Chains A and B, each alone.
Chain A
Amino acid sequence: DAKTTQPPSMDCAEGRAANLPCNHSTISGNEYVYWYRQIHSQGPQYIIHGLKNNETNEMASLIITEDRKSSTLILPHATLRDTAVYYCIVRVWSAGKSTFGDGTTLTVKP
């Protein structure tokens, strides 16, 4: 699986959009981008995934650059409950396992 690079920490004001970047410059054509988050003392939670088109669901939006070398997870209106560690992962669809890095700790502040 291609390696991902994320900033170790970010802050965001409550009610504002949180934009979490991920660099995956060595991504292959058949690798998808996945995002998970982990709230303290819980298991990680799946958020969203995409290949090359932008994706949106009830939790977030995923924007993937045209060259697919980076992506951004957007939480449109961050709340205090969005404070968590966010993991960006790339993996082949049929790979089975996912490789997690150390993620970005997002702190949403009132």
Chain B
Amino acid sequence: GAGVSQTPSNKVTEKGKYVELRCDPISGHTALYWYRQSLGQGPEFLIYFQGTGAADDSGLPNDRFFAVRPEGSVSTLKIQRTERGDSAVYLCASSLTSGGDGYTFGSGTRLTVV
């Protein structure tokens, strides 16, 4: 596609529920990144994929967070047993390779846990 697409754009869920956030990267981009951003702060790295494999998941805060990219294109970020502190904008980005290319970001999914 023309850009990175994230769905849904907004998600409200109850504390303790499970959520999935989807990212469609630019076609042909092999690297995919997930970040989350709290109000007034810069994006915080969560995980990045090179192809189908997670090359660096050091930013995932705990084992409630998990991400997959089974076919090397679309990725899903999964959050179990959501907590109010998980409320943030979740950003996805892709780049042609994991080398020095600049990232193209999506518009994000705003997750609110009530």
Interface residues of A (CB under 8 A from B): 32, 34, 36, 41-47, 49, 85, 87, 93-94, 96-103
User: B104: shortest Cβ distance to chain A, in Å?
Assistant: 7
Contacts A44-B105, A49-B100 given; does A96 touch B50 at CB 8 Å:
yes
CB neighbours (8 Å) of A97 from chain B are 33, 45, 48, 56, 59
Contacts A101-B42, A102-B42, A103-B42 given; does A96 touch B31 at CB 8 Å:
yes
Interface residues of B (CB under 8 A from A): 4, 31, 33, 35, 40-45, 48, 50, 55-56, 59, 91, 93, 98-100, 102-108
Q: Decide: A43 and B106 in contact? CB cutoff 8 A.
A: yes
Q: Is the interface of A mostly helix, strand, loop or mixed?
A: loop
CB neighbours (8 Å) of A102 from chain B are 40-42
Q: Decide: A98 and B45 in contact? CB cutoff 8 A.
A: yes
For A45, give the chain B residue with the smallest CB separation. Answer: B105
Sample 12 A-B pairs with CB under 8 A, ordered by A number.
Answer: A43-B4, A43-B91, A43-B105, A46-B104, A96-B33, A96-B98, A97-B48, A97-B56, A97-B59, A102-B40, A102-B41, A103-B42
